[in-house]
Amino acid sequence: MDHLRPLLCGHLGQTYPNRIYQHAAQTDRITNTLTLSTLPTIWDRLAEKGVVGRYYYSDVPFLALWGPKYLGISRPVAQFVVEALAGTLPQVSFVDPRFLDEPSGTSGDDHPHADIRNGEAFLDLIYTAVTLGRSFHNTALVINYDEWGGFFDHVPPPLAEIPEADRLAGNADGRLGFRVPALLVAPWAPSGAVSHEQFDHTSVLKMIEWRWGLAPLSVRDAQANNLADALDFSRPRRVHAPLLLSPPGPFGAPCPPSSSEPVPDLSLPDLVPLARAYGFPVFSGTPSP
């Protein structure tokens, strides 16, 4: 059921540009800024075709960067768990972990100074809800990171076509980002296999577009390899996915920061006032299960 591979980031840069790539197949910025985006996204393509899609978040929604545009499709992550188990998920779902409380070690995004056990517990929650759900027989679960967090990679990232929004934002290089872990869980995924085909963030969008007959968002997803190429639809497996046990870390037990460690100028917690201004509920006070 588990198909593991490295996946390249869409952009050799910071968190926000790469997260925007995950939704829009291009970026309108090359640094972490709170400027509202007007880029078309996979959510627009789905809506145009009448395909139901929803975005589930744990505390603060990244889609608030588009203002109130996607408020109507945004839900708390607890609702994802209920719908996954009941087999009532929409046709396309995105799920985000907890981004807040990194200094306390209790966020669920594996960002320093988070306890990585919380991130593992969050992934286990989503994996268990999907694989035990009534619709797992026709579901593909993709797990990937937005970027590599500054860790070393000995493989130089390749070049790709530069979307127009990237050019306007000052990204004249077109280089993909470093590799990040990616896991594909589906009845059609060969067990324990590793794909050697080049995939990036927009390969996930390419799979959605291929499945639902959607137009590409940019030259990047138009030319990306389809993540579905890693699946074998002729041989669905009818075995139960193994259950895992990933206990969370202790609540409120952070990794102490170094006095010489630089403080980031901007991070996802800075989205809180923006999200609230556009009517998004912001959840806090509970670590990832």
| Amino acid 23: pLDDT | 98
- Cis amide linkage into residue 201, ω under 30° from 0: no
Predicted confidence band of residue 101 (pLDDT cuts 50, 70, 90)? confident
> Tokens for 16?
């926000």
Tell whether 9 is covered by a domain: yes
268 in any annotated domain: no
Residue 81 covered by a domain: yes
Q: What is the pLDDT of residues 115-124, one digit of tens each?
A: 889 999 999 9
* Confidence bin at 279 (pLDDT 50/70/90): very high
- Which of the pair, 274 or 286, is modelled with greater confidence? 274
Which residue range(s) make up the domain with 72?
2-253
Give the count of domains, the chain: 1
Confidence of residue 111 (pLDDT cuts 50, 70, 90): confident
Distance between CA 190 and CA 43 in Å, rounded?
29
| 207 domain-assigned | yes
CA-to-CA separations, 239 to 97, 102, 129, 189, in angstroms, rounded: 28, 38, 16, 12
**Residue-averaged pLDDT of the chain:** 90
Per the structure block, which two tokens stand in for 86?
């009941």
CA 70 – CA 1 distance, rounded (Å): 32
Q: Is residue 283, in this structure, part of any structural domain at all?
A: no
> Is 216 a member of any domain?
yes
Task: Report the amino acid identity of residue 182.
Answer: A
pLDDT band at 8 (very low <50, low <70, confident <90, very high): very high
Residue 251 has pLDDT above 90, yes or no: no
Higher-confidence residue: 18 or 114?
Answer: 18
Question: What is the pTM (predicted TM-score) of this model?
Answer: 0.92
Question: Residue 149 has what pLDDT?
Answer: 87
Q: Is residue 158 part of a domain?
A: yes
pLDDT (average), residues 253-261: 56
Give the CATH number, domain containing residue 17: 3.40.720
Decide if 270 is inside a domain. Answer: no
Give just the sign of the alpha carbon dihedral 78, 81, 82, 83: positive
- Estimate to the nearest angstrom the gap between the alpha carbon of 223 and the chain centroid: 20
